[in-house]
Amino acid sequence: MSYLFTSESVSEGHPDKIADQISDALIDNFLAFDAESKVACETLVTTGQVILAGEVKSKTYLDVQQIARDVIKKIGYTKSEYMFEANSCGILSAIHEQSQDINQGVDRTTKEEQGAGDQGMMFGYATNETENYMPLALDLSHALLIELANLRRENAEITYLRPDAKSQVTLEYSDDNKPQRIDAIVISTQHDDFDEEATMLAKIKSDLISILIPRIKAKYPQYAHLFNDQITYHINPTGKFVIGGPHGDTGLTGRKIIVDTYGGKGAHGGGAFSGKDPSKVDRSAAYATRHIAKNLVAAGLADEILVQVSYAIGVAKPTSINVVTYGTSKVGLTDGEISKKVESIFDMRPYFIEQRLKLRNPIYSETAAYGHMGRKPENVTKTFRTPNGEEKTVSVELFTWEKLDFVDKVKAEFGI
């Protein structure tokens, strides 16, 4: 019998995502001027207020208030009626020096022996149900909000959109786990005030179905066949959504970890990503396990793969590596045997993860909205400035963990 599966996403203007983007902008600025920076930065946003807190070890000095304001402005909080505005919100910094007790477990005389920044387990997942090896419901949820943000910035076809929004997609799967159709779509979008609430709700629903959905089908033709006349649409189901963003809900770094990863598919170890430099394996090892899972599936080893790795704080070698193929393996090996071979292909010590995926570069701002996984690797040039006028322009490679650069090695090792 067929079954339903649902994933959700949130926009860049969602309060939790504002917090993530500010935290990751700080990471990028620290790494741009000191690649060895150790940073754990949390952000809280609420009505007219931003609070920054965390621990830093770095040779550089930054204007953290200006960095936060630039992020808020870029997202689109530029009007006083939002009750949270880039130029006028208060910003309090409680960032202090990293604990020496923690630092001594990470830094080593020999870089290769760099210890894990914390204990814990991390997961990476991949499935061949989409071209980018991501779960389809999450991929569609992200796509809806990316395109909604494009419409907001264009301010042409739809002129009343505000930055805060959420989406949710429910798919129907067949018995053999193949997506058949979209069963339901939920979109809640913040908007300007209307004179008549009934008129407002009708227009928003009409615009999103007649403007947003056709743009999604055109931009993602591989998914067009999943749309049908029987989709249940819940557009702003609570009604009026004028009060939103940090004025409507307090936002915190790291509260959208399932949106950031696989939308409920696979598994998650529990650690957040944003605001952490790559010595924190919560982030770097999660990227590395995604890299492994994607390359294994792309090589044809299995249709669906979950990779788990675990660490002890201050210890370089993982305490475990485990690969689960959900019974979809195409090679005559057990999951345990596959795990052993994977361990020989991918060095999962923190220093080697950082080197393999080029994680000591300022590449994190782009990860902080619309998912850390399933994104397109690309080279970009970025410019950073310090309060004393120092400027640095760097060319970096984004989303290196999405590269299919180990497919040939995997095929050779497994005889595929």
Q: Which of 311, 297, 316, 334 is nearest to 416 (CA)?
A: 297
For residues 262 and 139, what is the distance between their CA atoms, to the nearest angstrom? 9
For residues 379 and 211, what is the distance between their CA atoms, to the nearest angstrom? 32
For residues 48 and 22, what is the distance between their CA atoms, to the nearest angstrom? 15
Residue 98 marked as a ligand binder: yes
Residue 240 marked as a ligand binder: yes
Residue 42 marked as a ligand binder: yes
- Order of all β-strands in the sheet with 304-311: 120-127, 304-311, 320-324
For residues 348 and 323, what is the distance between their CA atoms, to the nearest angstrom? 14
Residue 256 marked as a ligand binder: yes
First to last CA, the chain: 33
Count other Cβ atoms within 10 Å, centred on residue 156. Answer: 7
Residue 276 marked as a ligand binder: yes
Residue 164 marked as a ligand binder: yes
Residue 217 marked as a ligand binder: no
Count other Cβ atoms within 10 Å, centred on residue 128. Answer: 15
Residue 181 marked as a ligand binder: no
For residues 133 and 373, what is the distance between their CA atoms, to the nearest angstrom? 9
Q: CA quadruple 405, 408, 411, 416: dihedral positive or negative?
A: positive
| CA 409 to centroid of chain Cα atoms | 27
Q: Are 71 and 25 in contact (CB under 8 A)?
A: yes
Residue 272 marked as a ligand binder: yes
For residues 257 and 247, what is the distance between their CA atoms, to the nearest angstrom? 22
Q: Are 282 and 118 in contact (CB under 8 A)?
A: yes
Q: Are 44 and 51 in contact (CB under 8 A)?
A: yes
For residues 46 and 150, what is the distance between their CA atoms, to the nearest angstrom? 25
**Letter for the amino acid at 223?**
Y
Residue 255 marked as a ligand binder: yes
What does the block give as tokens for 41? 């930065």
Helices vs strands, H then E, count in the chain: 12, 13
Residue 166 marked as a ligand binder: yes
Residue 341 marked as a ligand binder: no
Residue position matching structure tokens 């795990």: 339
Residue set of the binding site for K(+): 42
**Annotated binding residues for ATP:** 14, 164-166, 240-241, 249, 255-256, 272, 276
Please give the annotated binding residues for Mg(2+), written as ranges: 16
Binding residues for L-methionine: 55, 98, 249, 280
Residue positions in the annotated binding site?
14, 16, 42, 55, 98, 164-166, 240-241, 249, 255-256, 272, 276, 280
